[in-house]
Structure 1
Amino acid sequence: MASMPVLHSAPKFASNEGVIEALSAALGSMLVSAKEEHGEVVFTVARDQIENALRLLRDEHEYQQLMEMAGVDYPSRAERFEVVYMLLSVTKNHRVMVKVSAAENTPVPTVTTVWPVAGWLEREVFDMYGVIFAGNPDLRRILTDYGFEGHPQRKDFPLTGYVELRYSEEDKRVVYEPVKLAQDFRSFDFMSPWEGADYVLPGDEKADTPPVEEPKTTEKKGVSGAGEPTNSEAAKKVSPPAPATKDSGKPEKDAPAHTDSRPHEEDEDGDDGKGDKS
């Protein structure tokens, strides 16, 4: 049997050894930081140099494919967003990640000039996080509905959103309504409906605890714990039930005849009930 032709010399398993040093030297002044994290090689580059950095990695270091782009939100940072580019070298069988940071009003240069597919990926990051990509020829929402307000994957975006979209059978169209919180999405101040909070909520300090004169108990029979009217009703005697009937073994008057024979019951003439009685 003829062996399969080898299309390229990519190793089955690629190593990160020497990658950080080699690519850091190649990126030069464009590089902000480089590290290996969770088995992944991660480079952070200057935002205004992202297009040049990715083109260099594609043309001179064989990272031919932009596999994915992702956004990350860190609200406590001055530049709260990170945009992550995930690159693959099919000839080296190796992946690297390149990151840039951006603020809400700081645009990131588009990389559609390096990989046209980035147009779709940048639209998704824009839709979910609100990151602006300068130079993208078609920067508009790609996942959310027309007229959607906000960016759903920001940390400050409410879990339930701001409006509820549904199809109205009455109006025969899609309508927007204020969100109605279901039980699953409500925030309670206690662990369960039977156990209240052990602290005073704002406004509750003015409320007095309802007095309990004495606890209701049901220590003896006839005391229901619900007051005298209920006790009186509970104490009333009821008529005894009808006695249970006992089987005498004799057929009752006007009882219908058996339709089939039973092993322990035979007619007086020895007929087993299956014979012809005509």
Structure 2
Amino acid sequence: MATLHSAPRFTQIDGLKDTLGGALGAHLLDVHEEHGELLFTVKRESIEDVLRILRDDHKYQQLMEIAGVDYPSRAERFEVVYMLLSLTTNNRIMVKCSASEDTLVPTATTLWPNAGWLEREVFDMYGVLFAGNTDLRRILTDYGFEGHPFRKDFPLTGYHELRYSEDEKRVVYEPVELAQDLRQFDFMSPWEGADYVLPGDEKADVPPVDEPKTTETPKDTGAGKKTDEHAADKVSAGAPAEEDGGENAPAPEPTEDQPARAEREGKTTDTAEATEPDTPDNDAGGPAPAAGKRKS
């Protein structure tokens, strides 16, 4: 039996663009659809008011994520993206604003407590500052870390390396020293259809075969009726292995003589009981073999 619920499975975004855009009013800079979701670009100084309107008036109760994006060529290189979820309508939207390295973005901790951790992550990875966050410190990198790893101009190797020093018996930070500068290789595999010739491949540059060589008659390949008549003949007929073999064939003579091994000298730890063969005489209490003689 199907269970009906008052909340729809999802909300159609048709008409939602005009509804939310009108509610945001002068705070809104741009709105468009991406991947089936609405993306609102708003003024940076209005971000707290925008999020409050969406939470209180349009039932976007949950702040799911705060992400950062870096565009170094822009005057305000960073974008802070807020992802909201409405449990009532089962709908998600994104709200974003821009910021630079020294501009402050109003905090969302006054609306959602979990925004504190999310803003710390954006600060740690991108260096975006949030005004009103009372605990804005690094959350993923170490306390003495320099720079922000998700910035596009941050070197792939970093500035310092972390290792354990056996001499000092502690963890030490050292500047990164590379034997050569980081280089970019864009070599493609020949199987992926590279449009250049790898060193050595020029030797294999042969013209393609227009018409493969084929045989016209069976005699060109050694086949045919004459060959089939002798197919059952044994090739090994008359060989020594064929003549000397069989069920009643005698065992072959040894190819070399091996002299008898001399009897071992010295004491032995073997006892008569340990080397006693299993014979009827021994089972009846008969004489046992001398100590030191091994069973054969």
Task: Report the TM-score when normalising by structure 1.
Answer: 0.66
Shift of 1:188: 6.2
Pair 1:168–1:36, CA change in 2 (3 A): same
Separation in 2 of the partners of 1:112 and 1:190? 45
Pair 1:35–1:255, CA change in 2 (3 A): farther
2:62 partner amino acid: Q
Shift of 1:251: 4.1
Separation in 1 of the partners of 2:162 and 2:121? 21
Separation in 2 of the partners of 1:111 and 1:189? 43
Separation in 2 of the partners of 1:23 and 1:256? 106
1:252 to 256, 260, 263: 256
Separation in 2 of the partners of 1:36 and 1:188? 36
Pair 1:77–1:35, CA change in 2 (3 A): same
Structure 1: tracts of 5 or more residues without a match: 196-247, 258-277
Structure 2: tracts of 5 or more residues without a match: 189-197, 200-251, 262-295
State the identity as a percent.
66
1:36 to 14, 33, 36: 33
Alignment match, 1:162: 159
Alignment match, 2:14: 17
Q: How does 1:98-247 map to 2 (within 5 A)?
A: 98-181=95-178, 186-187=182-183
Note the aligned Cα RMSD (angstroms): 3.1
Separation in 1 of the partners of 2:128 and 2:68? 8
1:27 aligns with 2:43: no
Separation in 2 of the partners of 1:168 and 1:101? 43
2:69 partner amino acid: V
Larger Rg: 2
2:86 to 85, 89, 100: 89
1:60 to 53, 57, 62: 57
1:142 partner amino acid: I
2:143 partner amino acid: Y
| Superposed structure 1 runs of 4+ greater than 6 Å apart | none
Pair 1:46–1:189, CA change in 2 (3 A): closer
Deviations 1:33-63 (A, max 9, x none): 0000121210011100000000000000000
Shift of 1:116: 1.4
Task: Report the TM-score when normalising by structure 2.
Answer: 0.62
The SS at the match of 2:174 is: strand
Alignment match, 1:229: none
Separation in 1 of the partners of 2:30 and 2:153? 28
Deviations 1:156-189 (A, max 9, x none): 0001100001122332211111224489x83168
Shift of 1:142: 0.6
Separation in 2 of the partners of 1:167 and 1:189? 31
1:49 aligns with 2:53: no
The SS at the match of 1:61 is: coil
Separation in 2 of the partners of 1:129 and 1:85? 15
Separation in 1 of the partners of 2:11 and 2:169? 57
Separation in 2 of the partners of 1:77 and 1:112? 28
Deviations 1:191-211 (A, max 9, x none): 59x95xxxxxxxxxxxxxxxx
Instruction: Figure out how many residues of one structure are paired with residues of the other and give that number.
Output: 204
